Chain A
Amino acid sequence: MVEIRVVLPQHLRTLARVGPEVMVDVREPATVSAVLDALEAAYPVLRGTIRDHGTLKRRPFLRFFACEEDLSLLPYETPLPPAVCAREEPFYVIGAIAGGER
């Protein structure tokens, strides 16, 4: 297992009743899929909010960033960057900017 720092958007922090950053134990190899599995296992209320319950597809207005890279469009089994696995950098779940509501 490897510890991964995860930063959640504000609404999901409120929902999970956590602060800006959480630490989750992720099975190895640590991938995008593995970190999402671990996050949902630790905070079941987040199931369905980041990826669809049934299809497990990423919700369209969410993105996954790490080490200044966008991991959102990469396969779920893409390994996380070494700096994330070393806890030097967090894995970010980002809500898309959508301030255009008039």
Chain B
Amino acid sequence: MSGVRVLVGTRKGAFVLSADGTRKDWDIQGPFFGGWEVYHLKGSPVDPNRIYASQGSGWFGQLMQRSNDGGRTWEAVDKTFAYAGETGTHEWYDGTPHPWEFKRVWHLEPSLTDPDVVYAGVEDAALFRTTDGGQSWHELPGLRTHGSGSHWAPGAGGLCVHTVILDPVNAGRMFVAISAAGAFRSDDGGQSWKAINRGLRSNHIPDPDAEVGHCVHHVAQHRARPDVLFMQKHWDVMRSDDAGEHWVEVSGNLPTDFGFPIDIHAHEPDTVYVVPIKSDSEHYPPDGKLRVYRSRTGGNEWEPLTRGLPQQNCYVNVLRDAMAVDTLDSCGIYFGTTGGQVYASADAGDTWSAIARDLPPVLSVEVQTLEG
């Protein structure tokens, strides 16, 4: 029988939640790496037992972990992220040049074809890759050395590559998103990059439609339609139909278009999910009601999904990498909150239940669909 495994990264460790295909009864294992921040963990699409995790702390820096048995046991792997060549500077909060400094790994994206290949999006913004299962990491410097790189400035959360998408159809095509620089695309396996921010407007930068400087929070792509991208920006929900060449706003009737995560139904490329947050200065749901919004029309027309979610006195946030979908016939949607809840819906968002309620603040959620 098929099942799902939910990989949850939190401020104080990682947790692995498992259930069969009914997704009713959940087993929770963890904390793994208790007391450490786990920004992200993700499994290989070709070997689900191979999982990579980014572990870190303000005291001891960055660690990397690998599991070969679906998260039951872990081994520390290489954690050296050295920028290639001269690093130069990027822009600091006050506009002055600031040296590029590695701080942490935000996002891990395992290869679609090789369990030993993983891409790591890091802060300060750069892309690294391992081709030996994490035994060594090497920068793909074309991103950091993009002509605009010296003008990138950190958002409140740091200058981070938080989104890495490997195109399942177009060989060599990848997308990344950087706060607060914007979205970028490579068509040559990460060697060179193009800023793809035309159509974005951001009032927090002097030129609202500049080529770079946009605080992109997350980007999602559906495997069946890889040229269509959906973006949750600092403000605005956006859509591109040409692999990022142009973007149009699809916020439509959302109560607020600020938010962090965005994801797409596994079988319906026009069904999109966001979690509206009140504002950039009030990181909690409007009116104290935790509502996922779903569009079945590829944006613009959104409906609130509330059944099973708290509809009063709820003031949690949902972070950018804390939403994921499974690929079972009835698509499951999952998200974690800064209040330590993990909510799941086994019916595409119609109804929800908490599958974990009292974890540390959730930083990331990924889902593996396991064949029985």
Bound together: yes
Q: How far is the CB of B276 from chain A (nearest CB, A)?
A: 26
Size class of A's contact patch? 10 to 19
Contact, CB under 8 Å: A15 / B63: yes
The stretch of A45-53, A69-77, A81-89 in contact with B is: A45-53
State which of B59, B79, B80 has its C-beta within 8 Å of the C-beta of A11.
B59
**Which residues from A are CB-within-8-Å of B35?**
10-11
Interface residue? B175 (CB, 8 A): no
The stretch of A21-29, A32-40, A54-62 in contact with B is: A54-62
Contact, CB under 8 Å: A48 / B58: no
Contact, CB under 8 Å: A53 / B82: yes
**Which residues from A are CB-within-8-Å of B79?**
48, 53
Contact, CB under 8 Å: B59 / A48: no
Contact, CB under 8 Å: B57 / A11: yes
Minimum CB distance partner of A17 in chain B: B76
**Contact A61-B58, Cβ < 8 Å, known A11-B36, A48-B79, A54-B82:** yes
Q: How far is the CB of B74 from chain A (nearest CB, A)?
A: 11
CA distance A12 to B57 in the complex (A): 11
Contact, CB under 8 Å: A12 / B60: yes
**Which residues from B are CB-within-8-Å of A1?**
none
Contact, CB under 8 Å: B58 / A98: yes
Contact, CB under 8 Å: A49 / B76: no
Chain A interface helix/strand/loop/mixed: loop
Minimum CB distance partner of B34 in chain A: A14
Interface residue? B255 (CB, 8 A): no
**Contact A49-B63, Cβ < 8 Å, known A11-B35, A61-B58:** yes
**Which residues from B are CB-within-8-Å of A50?**
60
Size class of B's contact patch? 10 to 19
Minimum CB distance partner of A45 in chain B: B76
Minimum CB distance partner of A52 in chain B: B61
Interface residue? B62 (CB, 8 A): yes
Contact, CB under 8 Å: B82 / A95: no
**Which residues from B are CB-within-8-Å of A10?**
35
Contact, CB under 8 Å: A48 / B76: no
Q: Mark B21-65, 1 if CB is under 8 A from A, else 0.
A: 000000000000001100000000000000000000111111100
**Which residues from A are CB-within-8-Å of B76?**
15, 45
CA distance A17 to B177 in the complex (A): 37
CA distance A48 to B137 in the complex (A): 14
Pairs A-B, 6 closest by C-beta atoms: A49-B60, A61-B59, A45-B76, A95-B59, A53-B80, A48-B61
* Sample of 17 A–B contacts (CB below 8 Å): A11-B35, A11-B36, A11-B57, A11-B60, A12-B60, A45-B76, A48-B61, A48-B62, A49-B60, A49-B61, A49-B63, A54-B82, A59-B59, A61-B58, A62-B59, A98-B58, A98-B59
Query: Which B residues contact A (CB, under 8 angstroms)?
Result: 35-36, 57-63, 76, 79-80, 82
- Other A-B pairs, 18, CB within 8 Å; known A48-B80, A59-B59, A59-B60: A10-B35, A11-B59, A15-B60, A47-B80, A48-B62, A48-B79, A49-B63, A50-B60, A52-B61, A53-B79, A53-B80, A53-B82, A54-B82, A59-B61, A61-B58, A62-B59, A62-B60, A95-B59
